[in-house]
């Protein structure tokens, strides 16, 4: 082969130089069509502009400056924050297929956590799991678990009376035990129950895995190929232990429930329904369906516990803060339910003010204030802006909930905003249910279950008790002011 002459080399070098200039120019041109946002710093991009705390409120100042769709460059990772319902529903709802992915994390793979639906990528197996989840928790199917939700509400009243100081722990315990009864038919009678402890441990693992900057391997993926026994590879050893804990949580309660079903001792629950349904199918289909059912059941507690508990804390807080709202809600329950029995979920159509109250709790302090991040699967264009493939999409749910475009005096807690003049639920006001549960193909599949649990617990508590603020040593009400109530890591503190 003939050697390249100096002229040839010069021509190649010139071509490469021209290509580099064209490429740079084109990427600048493309960048100029990304949505507006704060100017990036060299190397760091917009890392310093990404709020660390109380992000939803902090992002609002970016919207004031740059408009309702903001672009941030998190060093090779585009982040798009949507600040209006119109933008969120156009992209995540109407163009759902383009935005149904999630940002991927290496640690999720290392702990074998792909079956955790909220964090799994947009794959065929995710579709199968999600399909089953929606089937097991559809508005119709969950009627079979109303008994567990009603019993849970009564249990919470007893616990509030017997241990008022432990109210926060007991709220979490009761909602958790309702999930376990409905899903596995298991009566979890104490917060130290092994299944509850197991599920809470897994919840902590998930939070740690999703803490930004917690694991270096997310920034330097080659670390996953280094042997676990070498120094600095603690994350690999941790991942192995955590993986075992995740599997235990997925399988142990399911096995216990399946045994009860076999003995004919199970209460109505998801596991009973599934095993009954698949019992007539061929063995290989049974094995496939059972594996999916294990995944779905394992997801229920993880999806439910913090969202439902945090919404309920908003309810407790606002009742102590707004006694007039509480009195009006109690009057409605007294008129419909009376004093000879406890409220039931079947009373719901006759209790529009309680529905409006739950709506207002969901709106006034949404639990997932920036939603759960979506990721785009291809390039898209919105209002003339390019949204590059692989972008992380956040929705500022809090900004939507507090927007003057949708609500009169949005900062005020006013359940009646959701009612017509004759006291029925209005269809003309944007329901928080159309954004606090997320969007499109990723919308929360547990929303009917969570909603029913919250409704019956709120109605039952108001029927039996009156919520008042605690008193300080001088007998004055001790309650944090509205300005001091903030959401930390997404939940009310």
Give contact residues for ligand HEM (rule: CB under 6 A).
Answer: 117-118, 130, 133, 137, 299-300, 303-304, 307-308, 311, 367-368, 371-372, 374, 436-439, 442-447, 449-450
Considering the complex, state which of residue 103 and residue 446 has its C-beta at the smaller distance from ligand HEM. 446
Smallest distance from ligand HEM to CB 24, Å: 36
Smallest distance from ligand HEM to CB 445, Å: 5
Q: Do the Cβ atoms of 392 and 92 come closer than 8 Å?
A: no
**Closest to 191 measured CA to CA, from 208, 176, 213:** 176
Q: Annotation-wise, does 269 bind a ligand?
A: no
Measured CA to CA in angstroms, residue 458 lies from 42, 171, 309 at distances of: 52, 12, 12
Tokens of 110: 């290392």
Considering the complex, state which of residue 352 and residue 371 has its C-beta at the smaller distance from ligand HEM. 371
Residues 152, 178: Cα–Cα separation, whole Å: 6
Tokens of 244: 């075992």
Considering the complex, state which of residue 311 and residue 318 has its C-beta at the smaller distance from ligand HEM. 311
Considering the complex, state which of residue 374 and residue 402 has its C-beta at the smaller distance from ligand HEM. 374
Contacting residues for 228 by C-beta, under 8 A, at least 6 apart: 236, 237, 240
Residues 277, 289: Cα–Cα separation, whole Å: 10
DSSP for 245-266, please give it.
HHHHHHHHHHHHHHHHHHHT-P
Neighbours of 20 (CB within 10 A): 10
Considering the complex, state which of residue 202 and residue 436 has its C-beta at the smaller distance from ligand HEM. 436
Smallest distance from ligand HEM to CB 427, Å: 21
Smallest distance from ligand HEM to CB 304, Å: 3
Residue 65: exposure state from Cβ atoms within 10 A (0-12, 13-18, ≥19): exposed
Smallest distance from ligand HEM to CB 98, Å: 14
Smallest distance from ligand HEM to CB 342, Å: 22
Considering the complex, state which of residue 57 and residue 224 has its C-beta at the smaller distance from ligand HEM. 57
Q: Do the Cβ atoms of 167 and 316 come closer than 8 Å?
A: yes
Considering the complex, state which of residue 308 and residue 333 has its C-beta at the smaller distance from ligand HEM. 308
Residue 474: exposure state from Cβ atoms within 10 A (0-12, 13-18, ≥19): exposed
Smallest distance from ligand HEM to CB 373, Å: 8
Residues 57, 60: Cα–Cα separation, whole Å: 5
The binding site comprises 444
The binding site for heme comprises 444
């Amino acid at each position: 082969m003939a050697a390249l002459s100096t002229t040839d080399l010069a021509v190649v070098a010139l071509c490469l130089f021209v290509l580099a200039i064209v490429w740079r120019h084109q990427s600048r041109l493309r960048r100029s069509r990304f949505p507006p946002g704060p100017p990036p710093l060299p190397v760091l991009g917009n890392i310093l502009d990404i709020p660390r705390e109380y992000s939803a409120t902090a992002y609002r100042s970016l919207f004031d400056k740059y408009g309702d769709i903001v672009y941030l460059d998190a060093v090779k990772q585009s982040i798009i924050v949507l600040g209006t319902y119109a933008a969120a529903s156009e992209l995540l709802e109407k163009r759902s297929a383009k935005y149904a992915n999630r940002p991927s994390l290496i640690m999720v793979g290392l702990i074998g956590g792909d079956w955790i639906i909220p964090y799994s990528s947009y794959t065929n197996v995710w579709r199968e799991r999600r399909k089953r989840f929606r089937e097991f928790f559809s508005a119709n199917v969950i009627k079979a678990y109303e008994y567990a939700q009603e019993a849970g509400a009564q249990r919470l009243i007893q616990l509030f009376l017997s241990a008022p100081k432990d109210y926060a722990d007991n709220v979490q315990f009761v909602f958790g035990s309702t999930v376990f009864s409905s899903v596995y038919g298991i009566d979890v009678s104490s917060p130290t129950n092994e299944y509850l402890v197991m599920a809470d441990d897994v919840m902590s693992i998930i939070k740690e895995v999703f803490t930004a900057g917690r694991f270096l391997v997310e920034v330097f993926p080659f670390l996953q190929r280094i042997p676990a026994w070498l120094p600095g590879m603690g994350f690999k050893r941790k991942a192995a232990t955590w993986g075992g804990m995740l599997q235990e949580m997925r399988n142990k309660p399911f096995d216990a429930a399946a045994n009860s079903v076999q003995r004919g001792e199970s209460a109505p629950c998801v596991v009973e329904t599934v095993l009954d349904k698949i019992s007539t199918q061929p063995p290989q289909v049974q094995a496939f369906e059972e594996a999916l059912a294990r995944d779905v059941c394992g997801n229920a507690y993880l999806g439910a516990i913090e969202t439902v508990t945090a919404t309920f804390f908003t309810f407790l807080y606002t009742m102590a803060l707004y006694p007039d709202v509480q009195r009006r809600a109690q009057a409605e329950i007294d008129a419909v339910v009376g004093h000879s029995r406890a409220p039931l979920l079947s009373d719901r159509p006759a209790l529009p003010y309680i529905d409006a109250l739950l709506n207002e709790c969901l709106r006034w302090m949404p639990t997932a204030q920036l939603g759960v991040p979506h990721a785009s699967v291809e390039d898209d264009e919105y209002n003339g802006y390019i949204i590059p493939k692989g972008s992380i999409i956040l929705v500022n749910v809090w900004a939507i909930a507090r927007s003057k475009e949708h609500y009169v005096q949005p900062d005020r807690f006013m359940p009646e905003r959701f009612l017509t003049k004759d006291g029925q639920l209005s269809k003309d006001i944007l329901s928080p249910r159309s954004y606090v549960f997320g969007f499109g193909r990723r919308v929360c599949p547990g929303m009917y279950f969570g909603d029913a649990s919250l409704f019956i617990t709120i109605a039952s508590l108001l029927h039996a008790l009156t919520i008042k603020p605690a008193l300080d040593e001088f007998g004055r009400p001790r309650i944090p002011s509205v300005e001091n109530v903030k959401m930390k890591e997404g939940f009310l503190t």
